Structure 1
Amino acid sequence: MTDPMHRTILLFDIERFGTRDDVEQAYLRRLLYEVVDSTLLKADIHETARLRADRGDSVMELVDAQASVPTLVKTLLTETPALLHSKNRLMAASAQMRLRIVLSSGYVAVDELDGWVGSDLNHAVRLLDSDPLRDALKQREEASVLCVSDGIYRGVVRHGPLGVRPDDFHRITVETKEGPTVAWLHGRPASSGPAAADRAADPSAPHTGTTSSGPAAIDLSGASFGGSYVAGDQHGVSGQGRVTGDVHLGGGSTGPGEQK
Structure 2
Amino acid sequence: MTPHPPIASDHVHRSRHALAVVADIESFSGRDNREQMRTRQDLYEEVRTAFGASLWQSCYSEDRGDGLLVVVPHSAGAAHVIGEVLPALDRALSGRRRGDPLLRLRIAAHAGDVYADGEGIGGHAVNHAFRLCDAEPLRAALKAARSDTALLLSDSLYETIAHDGHPSVTPAAFHAVAVTVKETAARAWLHVPGDEAAAAGAAAAAPARGSEAATTEAAPPAQTGGVSFGSGNVTITRGAVAGRDIVRHSARRRWWQRDG
Q: Report the equivalent of 2:224.
A: none
Instruction: Give the 3-state SS of the residue equivalent to 1:142 in structure 2.
Output: coil
For the pair 1:28 / 2:25, whether they are aligned, the reply is no
Q: Which amino acid aligns with 1:235?
A: D
Determine the C-alpha separation between the residues in 1 that align with 2:120 and 2:176.
32
**C-alpha deviation, 1:75, in angstroms:** 1.9
Q: Is the 8 A contact 1:99 1:144 kept in 2?
A: yes
**Which has the larger displacement, 96-105 or 151-160?**
151-160
Instruction: Give 1:206 deviation, angstroms.
Output: 4.2
CA RMSD of aligned residues (A): 2.6
Tell me the secondary structure at the aligned position of residue 37 of structure 2: helix
- Corresponding residue number in structure 2 for 1:229: 233
Distance of 2:79 and 2:17 partners within structure 1: 17
Pair 1:69–1:143, CA change in 2 (3 A)? same
Selected match of 1:238 from 245, 248, 252: 248
Distance 1:86 1:182 in 2: 32
Name which of structure 1's ranges 128-137 and 156-165 shifts more when overlaid on structure 2: 156-165
Identity of aligned pairs, percent? 30
Give unpaired runs (5+ residues) of structure 2.
1-11, 222-231, 236-241
1:30 Cα offset (Å): 0.5
**Whole-Å Cα distance in 2 between the matches of residues 234 and 208 of structure 1?**
23
Choose from 163, 172, 175 the match for 2:180: 175
- 2:226 match: none
1:60 to 50, 69, 80: 69
2:99 corresponds to which of 80, 91, 100: 91
Structure 2 letter corresponding to 1:65: H
Higher mean displacement: 138-147 or 159-168: 159-168
CA drift at 1:235 = 1.9
Distance in 2 (alpha carbons) for counterparts of 1:54 and 1:101: 14
Deviation at 1:234, TM superposition (A): 4.4
Q: Do the aligned partners of 2:156 and 2:212 also contact (CA within 8 Å) in 1?
A: no
Instruction: Find the aligned partners of 2:113 and 2:145 in 1 and give their Cα distance.
Output: 33
Shift of 1:164: 1.1
Match for residue 108 of structure 1? 114
Alpha-carbon distance between aligned partners in 1 of 2:49 and 2:142, rounded to the nearest angstrom: 22
Change (3 A) 1:194 1:90: closer
Alpha-carbon contact 2:137-2:203 (below 8 Å) kept: no
2:14 alignment partner in structure 1: 3
TM-aligned CA deviation for residue 176 of structure 1: 2.4
Distance, in Å, in 2 between the alignment partners of 1:241 and 1:13 is 21
Q: Which runs of 5+ in 1 are unaligned?
A: 216-227, 249-260
Give the Cα separation in 2 of the matches to 1:31 and 1:238: 17
| 1:182-201 matched pairs, under 5 angstroms | 182-187=187-192, 188=196, 189-190=200-201, 193-195=204-206, 197-198=207-208
Name segments (4+ residues, structure 1) moved above 6 Å: none
Give, as a single letter, the amino acid of the residue that structure 1 aligns with 2:91. Answer: A
